[in-house]
Structure 1
Amino acid sequence: MAHDILIVDDEADIRMQIAGILEDEGYEPREAATSAQALEAVARRQPALVILDVWLSGSDLDGLQILEQVKRNHPALPVIMISGHGTFDMAVSATKMGAYDFISKPFKTDVLLHTVARAIEESRLRRENESLKRLSGAATVEDLVGSSPALQEVRRAVEKVAGADSRVLITGPAGAGKGAIARVIHAKSHRRGGPFVQLNCAGLQAETLEAALFGLEASEDRPREVGVLEQAHGGTLLLDEVADMPLDTQAKIVRVLHSQRFQRLGGAQTVEVNVRVLATTAKDLKALMEQGAFREDLFYRLAVVPMSVPPLSERRQDIPALAEHFMKQAAAAKGRAPRRLGDGAVTALQGHSWPGNVWEVMNVIERLLLDAGGGEEIGAEAVMQAIGEGGRDGDGWDAAEVMNRPLREAREAFEREYLLFHLTRFGGNISRTAEFVGMDRAALHRKLKGLGVNPPGRGGERAGDERADDDADQAAGAG
């Protein structure tokens, strides 16, 4: 997405010259000859950069006065001052007022372009640093960690949709990595050079949410506040937990998605933006629509491309890679050496159902790093203590309920849960499961068939179909 640059100069020839130079480099220039035109252009849509002449004939305000107003309302907006009659004192004054740089006329093309590129890049880095400060450690993951079939399907979907400009609705349980997937979509899109802005809709009242979305017009007692829609111009806006958005706000967002235009609260100026909108939710939006709590027209505008993220309990195969990833990440952040997870520790990690999903894994691994002694291997007992529940939390396994069954039924229930867990752990690979549990492969087939268990990730094939299992095992072994 090309960067939008506003050129403010009273000489049409100078504006035309600068605009031509910028267009040749792929920028999108706008022009203004007076303070009124300049401030109106900034109000209409905040540019990525302003090139501002100090002296403006026929203008109510000169360049320094415009600079003062722009920096008051848009502190992060970079402004390059230009002048044919500049002095050292003028340059110092402009810099003190917040100008990024001061260039004297006549200027050299390469000097102008270098200054513009440097200002835009520094502005981008500041935005990224601010975003990283607002986000948690898990939110900075730059890739999707794991090799399970479910995650591979998510990766394929991301690759397919990233290059398009379609809106994407990402659904899945809390902590499953929906935000990380949204950032990967942005990073792989043609908008990756633009901003990525995230707004959490959960728990916000309509007025607060709308102020965050659309911004606030300046008044006597406050400067203009730019909303996330305007901040995300040329980039991507993520509406996190969109199901919590009030109905009145939903109606306004529908109109914005249709027109890409809106007005700041308290203002009459129409703001035009070019923003790709992604949304996430952990709730069932179709159920909410039936209850009248979510607008149907908003759902269909957001869900141009629907994407579902499975919980970690359905992709236990990814847990060892995730654990290793978070161990290295936590060690680097804490200035410590990473600790090795023993086989028992990995098994214990895979045995937990992780109701908190990826976020919970990150927290547990950080706890293990801090609790582990220097250089020692982490074992299963340490994992169970870090989880805080004595190990596996019984996903699908209710001990009290099993204790009230006859012995045969209780044994079958345990065997079913035990074998299904290890099949999931090994990605449905019969040979590896049989080796771990200490059974002959053919005996395991018969046991699974008798218990009515289908290996996960096998498209509904019966465990007793040994030829299909042979093919699957060979493929898994080759991978």
Structure 2
Amino acid sequence: MTSVTDRLTESVLLEILENAFQWFVVVDKESNILYINEEYCKFLETTREEAIGKPVNEVIENSRMHEVVETGEEHVASPHFIKGNYMLANRVPVRVDGEIVGAFGSVIFRDMNDWHNLSSQVRTTMEKIKIGQTAEKTTFQLQDILGSSDSIRSIKETIQMIAPSDLPVLIQGESGTGKEMFAQSIHYLSNRSEKPFVKVNCAAIPAEFLELELFGSVGSTEQIQRKGRIHQAEGGTLFLDDLGDMPLSMQVKLLRVLQEGTIEPIGSHNANKVNIRIIAAVNQPLKNLMESGKFREDLYYRIHAVTLQIPPLRQRMDDFEEITNHFFHETIATVGKRNLSIAPETMQTLKEYSWPGNVRELQNVIQAAVYLTNGDVIEPSVLPQGVRAKSRYYTGNTQTLQQAIEQLEGNIIAETLQMYPNKREAAKVLGLSRSTFYEKMKKYEF
């Protein structure tokens, strides 16, 4: 009986290759293009004649076909950043008699939005990454960042531009603005998305243990005794939260990682190569720390070239209702109170608060309000006292000047207590004696 392959003429095979996949490319064992279909050429703004015979990475931006040829490992549903957009590609090695003789690749989704809408299973697979015993799963992606204000749109556009690079990124913003979400979004959009995303909170780890935590240690035979976070992040992204709290001695070592791509574990005299991208976050300007001698000038200039300034919630009120409704619907779905709604006056009260704890504080307040509400409507009465205080800004209503001043004073005290729950510390921050501070707390019913 005649086999199927015997009955397929060359013209039929070419017709299948041209139409079976929207974009399709085949390379030889030197990663030179053997075949590329017409639709792919149109997208790449080239011709088949110009493309065939050339190294694939000279024709296709950010191509990883050569990695498949070299390693023999398949890339399934792998993000591919090309011409300002992310697509999903399959890359498979071609073997003849057990020897790799080339590879072929196909694009399965041309747009990441289509992917997210059509393939939740693929998305789940992409999120399962191994990053060691203390690492964390990437859970936030660009579409998870809520808001369409000019500032947020600009940050998202910047993330899309810088994600494919290996440039270090500095993220500045107040506590609670979601800096880790932005860091994970960069990682997820990068070519490192299938590798680890490892977080280190520099403020939470005592200074005497930070070196061990980051760099690990070796024994007398150079055998690794403890794998540091940097090694855990190999091939992926190391996220250094609260970088401003890193001791100066450790800043020197971090600078070496950035400049030379090497580390020396504790107990070792050999420099080990590492392949990581560093994203750092701070809640106060590093320039101020540098000027006060708490941050190295050379490290500052090395890490601040790409800086994302995350605005506080009070400066992006155009996004407020979208963010509030997101947290609200997310919580009622979890709790099972699907008939619950937010009273208009409650939403107005929320808008008038200045949110010193930013998006994180808003999320906590909404969650608490859902749990504390017995009826079908969230009333202002279930909100915390500090939130129920009206706007710290004078709105030009019928208040007297004295009333406006008292309103402002009460809101400042409320905000300070939110940031500094310890009353002695709050009084000190405001420059008040303890007795005066307690009198004002009693006056404003805190």
Contact 1:124 1:195 in 2 (8 A): no
Give per-residue Cα distances to partners, 1:22-61, cap 9 Å, x unaligned: 723369xxxxxxxxxxxxxxxxxxxxxxxxxxxxxxxxxx
Contact 1:353 1:392 in 2 (8 A): no
Equivalent in the alignment of 1:195? 196
The one-letter amino acid paired with 1:148 is: S
Equivalent in the alignment of 1:337? 338
Cα displacement (A) at 1:132? 5.0
Equivalent in the alignment of 2:32? none
The one-letter amino acid paired with 1:244 is: D
Q: Larger deviation: 237-246 or 320-329?
A: 320-329
Taking the aligned partners of 1:284 and 1:149, their CA distance within structure 2 comes to 22
Between Structure 1 and Structure 2, which shows a larger proportion of strand residues? 2
TM-score with structure 1 setting the length: 0.54
Equivalent in the alignment of 1:226? 227
Q: Percent identity?
A: 32
Within the alignment, does 1:23 sit opposite 2:20 as a pair?
no
Coordinate RMSD, CA, aligned = 3.7
Secondary structure of 2:147's match? coil
Taking the aligned partners of 2:165 and 2:271, their CA distance within structure 1 comes to 27
Give per-residue Cα distances to partners, 1:348-390, cap 9 Å, x unaligned: 221111000011011011101111236x1223x24xx323325
Secondary structure of 1:233's match? coil
Secondary structure of 1:337's match? coil
Taking the aligned partners of 1:338 and 1:165, their CA distance within structure 2 comes to 47
Contact 1:216 1:227 in 2 (8 A): yes
Taking the aligned partners of 2:143 and 2:210, their CA distance within structure 1 comes to 28
Secondary structure of 2:356's match? coil
Cα displacement (A) at 1:273? 1.1
Give per-residue Cα distances to partners, 1:388-436, cap 9 Å, x unaligned: 325245434599xx8666x9xx69x99xxxxxxxxxxxxxxxxxxxxxx
Q: Measured at CA, do residues 284 and 403 of structure 1 come closer, stay the same or move farther in structure 2, by a change above 3 Å?
A: farther
Cα displacement (A) at 1:206? 2.8
Q: Measured at CA, do residues 122 and 255 of structure 1 come closer, stay the same or move farther in structure 2, by a change above 3 Å?
A: same
Cα displacement (A) at 1:183? 0.8
The one-letter amino acid paired with 1:347 is: Q
Taking the aligned partners of 1:391 and 1:179, their CA distance within structure 2 comes to 29
Q: Give unpaired runs (5+ residues) of structure 2.
A: 1-66, 76-97, 101-124, 409-446
Contact 1:327 1:339 in 2 (8 A): no
Question: Pairwise mapping of residues 337-416 of structure 1 onto structure 2 (< 5 A)?
Answer: 337=338, 339-373=340-374, 376-379=376-379, 381-382=380-381, 385-389=382-386, 391-392=388-389, 394-396=391-393
Give per-residue Cα distances to partners, 1:188-244, cap 9 Å, x unaligned: 111111111111111433331111111122479x97221111111111111101000
Equivalent in the alignment of 2:155? 154
Within the alignment, does 1:318 sit opposite 2:315 as a pair?
no
Taking the aligned partners of 1:130 and 1:356, their CA distance within structure 2 comes to 27
Equivalent in the alignment of 1:452? none
Equivalent in the alignment of 1:420? none
Equivalent in the alignment of 1:175? 176
Cα displacement (A) at 1:325? 1.5
Cα displacement (A) at 1:124? 4.5
Cα displacement (A) at 1:261? 0.6
The one-letter amino acid paired with 1:287 is: N
Cα displacement (A) at 1:332? 4.4
Taking the aligned partners of 1:209 and 1:148, their CA distance within structure 2 comes to 38
Contact 1:168 1:277 in 2 (8 A): yes
Taking the aligned partners of 2:294 and 2:327, their CA distance within structure 1 comes to 38
Secondary structure of 2:378's match? coil
Contact 2:199 2:240 in 1 (8 A): yes
Equivalent in the alignment of 1:443? none
Give per-residue Cα distances to partners, 1:48-107, cap 9 Å, x unaligned: xxxxxxxxxxxxxxxxxxxxxxxxxxxxxxxxxxxxxxxxxxxxxxxxxxxxxxxxxxxx
The one-letter amino acid paired with 2:384 is: I
Question: Pairwise mapping of residues 207-222 of structure 1 onto structure 2 (< 5 A)?
Answer: 207-218=208-219
Cα displacement (A) at 1:173? 0.7
Question: Pairwise mapping of residues 261-272 of structure 1 onto structure 2 (< 5 A)?
Answer: 261-272=262-273
The one-letter amino acid paired with 2:302 is: R
Q: Measured at CA, do residues 215 and 393 of structure 1 come closer, stay the same or move farther in structure 2, by a change above 3 Å?
A: farther
Secondary structure of 1:224's match? strand
Q: Measured at CA, do residues 259 and 205 of structure 1 come closer, stay the same or move farther in structure 2, by a change above 3 Å?
A: same
Q: Measured at CA, do residues 329 and 390 of structure 1 come closer, stay the same or move farther in structure 2, by a change above 3 Å?
A: closer
Taking the aligned partners of 1:166 and 1:26, their CA distance within structure 2 comes to 27
Equivalent in the alignment of 1:426? none
Give per-residue Cα distances to partners, 1:122-141, cap 9 Å, x unaligned: 994454996558x9x9x799
TM-score with structure 2 setting the length: 0.58
Q: Measured at CA, do residues 122 and 180 of structure 1 come closer, stay the same or move farther in structure 2, by a change above 3 Å?
A: closer
Q: Measured at CA, do residues 372 and 404 of structure 1 come closer, stay the same or move farther in structure 2, by a change above 3 Å?
A: closer
Secondary structure of 2:238's match? strand
Contact 1:142 1:180 in 2 (8 A): no
Q: Give unpaired runs (5+ residues) of structure 1.
A: 1-18, 28-107, 111-120, 415-479
Contact 1:338 1:369 in 2 (8 A): no
Q: Larger deviation: 385-394 or 198-207?
A: 385-394
Question: Pairwise mapping of residues 237-256 of structure 1 onto structure 2 (< 5 A)?
Answer: 237-256=238-257
Taking the aligned partners of 1:343 and 1:210, their CA distance within structure 2 comes to 52
Q: How many residues align?
A: 293
Q: Measured at CA, do residues 326 and 197 of structure 1 come closer, stay the same or move farther in structure 2, by a change above 3 Å?
A: same
The one-letter amino acid paired with 1:312 is: L
Question: Pairwise mapping of residues 272-291 of structure 1 onto structure 2 (< 5 A)?
Answer: 272-291=273-292
Taking the aligned partners of 2:74 and 2:362, their CA distance within structure 1 comes to 44
The one-letter amino acid paired with 2:280 is: A
Give per-residue Cα distances to partners, 1:303-343, cap 9 Å, x unaligned: 12011011100111212111121123334444553732232
